[in-house]
């Protein structure tokens, strides 16, 4: 019986993963997703004000994906004046000793723009479960990411831990994970038969994350992509690369030689059934998503507002209530602190909505329905204007509110 690829803390996992990356082109595909999805998060968070940015990478492997994430963050920060002085701290967690050593070697010679002395690393050779029990310096992370590693932990427990113990208030959890496709089908078929432990159901972790986010009231955004993996060599018993790829697909060390022959044949024909043939090669579907999870600060603020309203009304004397009703909303608004609460909400949620690409006419039109005395409209416009000024676009914008 083959053992889990992860039980091997030497180079085997790394070699097998390397072949998988080459045959799928996953690195480039992931990089495209990261390049697309991370910059808007950096802008949204107003990180530059804080002069520091903390990133936690769980299941960091040899650090290749981590370094790309950091490069994208750094390049985004450098678009702003203060970007050059922001310090970035990256804590990486992975139980595989060989991968951690490769990571350490990679950071000795950091590529540009990470080599300016403003990026610091801590590499923790331990599983996420061990990390949770360890007493590392508690830090507030702006980004926590799991790049193709969420499969190996209990998803809900891991996300809850990150929200409670790791993430800053405006922080984001980013997961990149495979969805239904060749690799997920193979692993989920073999899961019953394989004797190694996988922390969570592997077949569609993204559906699972959506479920967990809805249950906990978190905000979740999903970006999907599809491509293919060339598995031709898996069918050649003499191919070293083929055998390493088979190990990765089955997540089992030396699968072809350690499992019984009948089971190996059954698995190979299962893989073949999941492929299509093109130019004499066998390709399997690969689907993956980048998921961004964050807390719904807005709804908490709403709760606070309504709680204070209910409190004031419930505990006020009847006479005072009548007074409020007769004097109208102004007094009620004052008593509840609603104006400040709304302003907080606007400040938090409007900036990310301000379009980065301005239409040709270079104007922004806003329709306010039920505008009242215009007080909230003016706060709204102020937030938009401030956001535009940051991007040097304000001078060429005409804000045109219509009531
Ligand atoms: C598919 S690799 C991804 C590596 C890296 N993030 C990348 O994208 O190149 C999954 C990584 O998760 C790590 N891993 C497995 N179980 C883990 C656990 N319980 N806690 C943290 N990392 C784990 C493995 O050692 C491996 O390096």
Q: What is the mean pLDDT of each run of 10 residues along the chain (403 residues)?
A: 64 91 96 94 66 94 97 92 85 95 96 95 96 89 96 94 92 93 81 54 80 94 95 97 94 90 93 95 94 71 34 44 49 63 76 60 71 81 80 53 51
pLDDT at 396: 47
What pLDDT, on the 0 to 100 scale, is given for residue 182?
Answer: 87
pLDDT at 163: 94
Q: How far is the CA of 6 from the centre of ligand 1 (A)?
A: 9
List pocket residues of ligand 1, CB cut-off 6 Å. Answer: 6, 17, 58-61, 64-65, 93-96, 99, 127-129, 147-149, 152-153
User: What contacts 24+ positions apart, CB below 8 Å, involve 236-239?
Assistant: none
Closest-CA residue, ligand 1 atom 23, reads 59
CA distances from 335 to 119, 299, 347, 392 (A): 47, 20, 21, 38
Which ligand 1 atom is the nearest neighbour of the CA of 57?
6
Rg (CA), the chain: 26
Mean of pLDDT over the chain: 82
- Three-class SS of residue 83? helix
Residue 179 φ then ψ, to 5°:
-115, -170
Residue 340, class by beta-carbon neighbours within 10 Å (0-12 exposed, 13-18 middle, 19+ buried)? exposed
| Ligand 1 mean position, distance from CA 61 (Å) | 5
Q: Are strands 218-230 and 281-295 parallel, antiparallel or unpaired?
A: antiparallel
Ligand 1 midpoint to CA 265 (Å): 28
CA of 203 to the centre of ligand 1 (A): 17
* pLDDT at residue 55, rounded to an integer: 97
Closest ligand 1 atom to Cα of 146: 6
Q: What is the pLDDT of residue 130?
A: 96
pLDDT at 10: 74
CA of 128 to the centre of ligand 1 (A): 9
Predicted pLDDT of residue 317: 47
State the Cα–Cα distance between residues 224 and 30, nearest whole angstrom.
Answer: 11
- 20 CA distance to ligand 1 middle (Å): 14
Q: Pick the residue whose CA is nearest to atom 19 on ligand 1.
A: 127
The two structure tokens encoding residue 83 = 């970007």
Question: Pocket of ligand 1, candidates 20, 59, 155: which has the most ligand atoms within 8 Å of its Cβ, to mutate?
Answer: 59
Q: Which two tokens stand for residue 359?
A: 């239409």
């Amino acid at each position: 019986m083959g053992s889990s690829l992860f039980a091997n803390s030497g180079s085997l996992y790394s070699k097998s993963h390397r072949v998988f990356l080459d045959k799928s082109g996953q690195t480039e595909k992931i990089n495209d997703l990261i390049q697309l999805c991370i910059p808007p998060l950096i802008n949204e968070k107003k990180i530059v004000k804080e002069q520091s940015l903390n990133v936690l990478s769980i299941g960091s492997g040899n650090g290749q994906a981590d370094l790309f994430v950091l490069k994208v963050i750094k390049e985004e920060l450098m678009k702003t004046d203060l970007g050059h002085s922001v310090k970035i701290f990256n804590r990486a967690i992975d139980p595989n000793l060989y991968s951690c050593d490769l990571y350490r070697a990679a950071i000795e010679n950091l590529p540009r723009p990470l080599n300016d002395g403003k990026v610091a690393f801590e590499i923790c050779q331990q599983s996420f479960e061990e990390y949770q029990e360890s007493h590392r310096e508690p830090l507030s992370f702006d980004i926590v990411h799991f790049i193709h590693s969420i499969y190996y932990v209990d998803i809900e427990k891991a996300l809850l831990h990150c929200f409670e113990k790791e993430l800053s208030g405006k922080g984001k959890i980013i997961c990149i994970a495979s969805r239904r496709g060749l690799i997920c089908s193979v692993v989920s078929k073999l899961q019953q038969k394989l004797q190694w432990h996988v922390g969570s159901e592997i077949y569609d972790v993204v559906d699972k994350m959506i479920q967990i986010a809805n249950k906990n009231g978190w905000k979740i955004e999903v970006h999907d992509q599809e491509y293919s993996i060339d598995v031709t060599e898996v069918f050649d018993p003499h191919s070293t690369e083929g055998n390493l790829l088979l190990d990765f697909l089955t997540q089992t060390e030396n699968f072809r030689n350690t499992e019984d022959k009948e089971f190996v044949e059954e698995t190979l024909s299962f893989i073949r059934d999941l492929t299509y043939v093109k130019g004499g090669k066998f390709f399997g579907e690969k689907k993956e998503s980048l998921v961004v999870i964050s807390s719904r600060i807005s709804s908490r603020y709403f709760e606070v507002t309504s709680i204070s309203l209910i409190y004031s009304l419930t505990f006020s004397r009847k006479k005072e209530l009548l007074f409020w009703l007769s004097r109208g909303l102004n007094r009620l608004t004052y008593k509840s602190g609603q104006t400040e609460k709304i302003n907080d909400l606007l400040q938090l949620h409007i900036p990310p909505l301000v379009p980065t690409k301005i239409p040709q006419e270079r104007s922004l039109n806003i329709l306010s329905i039920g505008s009242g005395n215009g007080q909230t409209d003016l706060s709204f416009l102020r937030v938009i204007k401030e956001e535009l000024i940051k991007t040097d676009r304000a001078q060429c914008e005409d804000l045109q509110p219509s009531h």
